[in-house]
Amino acid sequence: MKKAVCIMSGGMDSTLCATLALKEGYEVVALHFDYDQRTMKREKRAFSEICDFLGIKNRLNLDVNFIAKIGANALTDRTLDIPKDGLSDEVPKTYVPFRNGIFISIAAALAEKEGANALFIGVVEDDSSGYPDCRSDFIKAIERAINLGTKDETKLEIKMPLVGLSKAQIVAKSLEFNSPLHLTWSCYESDDEACGLCDSCRLRLRGFELAKAKDPIKYAKNG
């Protein structure tokens, strides 16, 4: 059976990626990262529950808290406020410097060890917070670098099936393929009820609204 490493945050995008990987016949190796982010415990719980729902047994949760030590982002630095003033064209304070580059590099090492030929990541380029490490050109470039820096028999394809989709399309696909939206967590600030005001909550809520669907998770406040 073909094998894929899926980077899974516990959010709805990466969960849909794992769902699609399974639909494509991959044996999934689920990879989750703890980096001392504000909602780390809630995201870890989501990851575990999603893997249980999807029947993914091969899973790895890695501590990469050096990311928090580097800092320079509102997800790990509690002295910075999570932006709640709506979406803008600027890179927000919630951008974690080169996070996807770090995650993909570690995932590539796991993929080489597991003999996987695919790596799934739920990056979204157009309808997103505008993080530079979610650009398709970057992902393609790091894929080339990985294949140059691994064994000859390691031929890894980085799959980003959501990169050109809107959040509404992601919601619709999640419903179509029975991706467990009710288990996912997107909020940047709260691990009890989603705040409804941070960038991630706003993007998620707008996606559900445009898809004419109801979000199954609870919010303290809707937008």
The domain spans of the chain are 3-165
Cα distance between the two ends of the chain: 44
- pLDDT of 206 over the 80 cut: yes
**Residue 8 annotated as binding?**
yes
Say if residue 160 carries a ligand binding annotation. no
* 195 annotated ligand binder: yes
pLDDT attached to residue 188: 97
18 is in an annotated binding site: yes
Tokens representing 73 are: 């982002």
The pLDDT confidence band at residue 167, using thresholds 50, 70 and 90, is: very high
| Average pLDDT, integer, range 64-79 | 97
Confirm or deny that 186 is annotated as ligand binding. Answer: no
**55 annotated as ligand-binding:** no
User: Is residue 6 marked as binding?
Assistant: no
For residue 88, the model assigns a pLDDT of 72
pLDDT-derived band of residue 223, with 50, 70 and 90 as boundaries?
Answer: low
Please tell me whether 71 is known to bind a ligand: no
Cα separation of 94 and 188, whole Å? 8
122 annotated ligand-binding residue: no
Q: What whole-number distance in Å separates Cα of residue 32 and Cα of residue 44?
A: 8
Distance CA 151, CA 78 (A): 41
Give mean pLDDT, residues 144-148. Answer: 98
> What is the mean pLDDT of the segment spanning 59-80?
97
Across residues 84-89, what is the average pLDDT? 76
Q: What pLDDT score does 129 carry? A: 86
- 16 labeled part of a ligand binding site: yes
Is the confidence at residue 113, as pLDDT, over 80?
Answer: yes
115 is in an annotated binding site: no
pLDDT for the residue 128: 84
By the 8 A CB rule, do 147 and 155 touch? yes
User: Is residue 21 part of an annotated ligand binding site?
Assistant: no
Which of 153, 212, 209, 181 lies closest to 49 in space, CA to CA? Answer: 181
The annotation status of 51 as a binding-site residue, yes or no, is no
pLDDT score of 21:
98
pLDDT value, residue 222: 67
Mean pLDDT (whole number) for 4-29:
98
* Residue-wise pLDDT tens digits, 173-201: 999 999 999 999 999 999 999 999 999 99
Q: What percent of the chain has pLDDT over 90?
A: 93
Q: Assess if CATH 2.60.120.510 describes domain 3-165.
A: no
**Cα 157 to Cα 214: distance, rounded to the nearest angstrom:** 34
